Amino acid sequence: MKIGYARVSTGLQNLDLQEDSLNKFSCEKIFTDHISGAKSNRPGLEMAIDFVRSGDTLVVWRLDRLGRNMEDLISIVNRLNERGVSFHSLQENITMDKSSSTGQLMFHLFAAFAEFERNLILERSAAGRAAARARGRFGGRPEKLKTQDLELLKTLVDSGTPIKTIAERWNVSRTTIYRYLDKMEEKDGKTNAH
């Protein structure tokens, strides 16, 4: 059985073109969503995946109607393949079916592209962090206390000032003060070891 799935991003768009194409391709049932592909919760798609049975084919008008990105697309197609369901995209004329060698090849190609995309994202992120570090910028929040504040912090603690009072002075939590004290002890320990 051929089951269709159609999606448009907003309620202002209509599904006519997609539904007409799916009907022409002899889809017996069509599930739809009026929701952005960026949303992970697409009720129509989930109903279509729940509805299809082994031997069925899920048909979409175009690949981008099914997945938000390559990784999402591969995940959905993998779910279908695990259940013995084929997949067909009308515009790209792509059929993925584990029972055929061509279908298996297509699935492996899509999986390779998804991994390639993930690796590119990781490489770009690492390069961005390295460039920021080279410019003296590090990730995370800016430090609450400056170097001169740390000297005063140590003096206040050594003089017996309560941690609560010290924390209120800089408008931070007591945990933050303890964290700074731990860092200072760690730094002093490394200095004394050399």
CATH code for the domain of 62: 3.40.50.1390
Instruction: Tell whether 142 is covered by a domain.
Output: no
The values of phi and psi at residue 3, to 5°, are: -115, 130
Give pLDDT, residue 54: 92
Task: List, for residues 46-86, the tens digit of each pLDDT value.
Answer: 999 999 999 999 999 998 888 877 778 878 888 888 888 98
Helices (H), 68-173: 70-82, 101-134, 147-158, 163-170
Catalytic amino acids? Answer: 9
Give pLDDT, residue 95: 84
29 touches 3 (CB < 8 A):
yes
Instruction: Tell whether 173 is covered by a domain.
Output: yes
Domain of 84, in residue numbers: 2-115
Give pLDDT, residue 61: 93
Measure Cα distances from 38 to 14, 34, 76, 89 in Å.
Answer: 18, 12, 14, 19
Q: What one-character DSSP code corresponds to residue 143?
A: P
Chain-centre distance for alpha carbon 144: 31
- Tell me which of 115, 137, 170 is where a domain ends: 115
Q: How, if at all, do strands 86-89 and 94-96 pair?
A: antiparallel
